[in-house]
Structure 1
């Protein structure tokens, strides 16, 4: 007898994300529910499917094989459901992207897109985690990194040199890292870009005075008000710097990191092609001359 689909979906998400907590956020359930599903499957199969690995979880060989099969199966279900939907009903263009990019870069430009393309409905899905576009029915992803996402086609959109900033009215520390280490640092718990650049800077996270806020917009609002300093991709704070709301303390090169347009292979919807062309025009206009 096949186990419950809820249990199998919980296990597949946990194996793919390497974390019960991340799987719980994806499926909008509790950490305990994911753990209970996984332990139930282990009892039913009489074998270990996941083991603790560092700060997360990892699938065993048996678990990894099961997870691959489940991913293919859920992908086939998603494709069948999509094909069964009435073709005459318009389907929104599904775009997943990092929350900070959505909030600070894309949202202020959406009025232009809607004015140019009123015929295209967008469904924006901010997510700090990288999701499987085929399994989730995603048309376009905008992700931060060096490229090379397996099973997808990635093309650069914007380079992302970093900048450490403080508010224009704040007492400015000297721009050396040693002085900055003694300041209060503000981070968003959904902004993966910040942690990457913090590591690039050589920050000792365990020694920092860190305050975490739920969104990158809240981080930037607090920094503008003088509550501390933060590190950001310069792309996301260009307007604040140009208009004097934020002051740059340290700047660095992108080091090959940036924002990429990531798409599943195969045929593409015309709406996706038009959206990508608009993104590229906006990105070109945003680059320093």
Structure 2
């Protein structure tokens, strides 16, 4: 297949698969009337759009919160501010953003496994399976509009792709490229600390094998500064409205326990 699949033909095949994936997700959403109820993140987006701040996750007047991060809910809030909380335009735009996270994630997976040396046939088969078979229809059609899952997946795969790339490059990594990795690591830790810290360990292992001590320290310091630029304003906000400088999420420990404990 690799001998007959030209780059142009591969682009066309992948474009068709992506179009099928997006049509399926939109059809799923339209069949449900583009319903927008998606739990606390949806309510917080509405509250922010209506000028009530990052608050009211359960009902009107339920106070400011820090168990969600100011990421995807804020993006949804900006859409609501521009087009209204109940408009068809808002729902279609948010559905498009959700499909955008899905598409970016699948394309990054495809590229990363190419870097790892996986042949074209299994890569394309896996890509087609993810696009056409609705394994994650609910999250890809609804949750990614308001929750940070889609953003977290894209950041995580992009970061891992950079780590794999640098591992294959050896010591040939310019400062701009390392800055890119530092920014991705910082953003991933902020959006999903568990995944970000795991990827940080992967980066440390790669850097210890491929980079000089100076390059390791430079990249680590830049990543720490960038992370602080995201965390500090959020912590100050939480200290002002909640009385505690919550660094990321106030219920992170509970979520880790629920996600990794079958009894809970």
Fold shared by both chains (TM-score > 0.5): no
Higher share of residues assigned helix: 2
TM-score (norm 1): 0.23
Find the structure with the greater CA-based Rg.
Answer: 1
TM-score (norm 2): 0.25
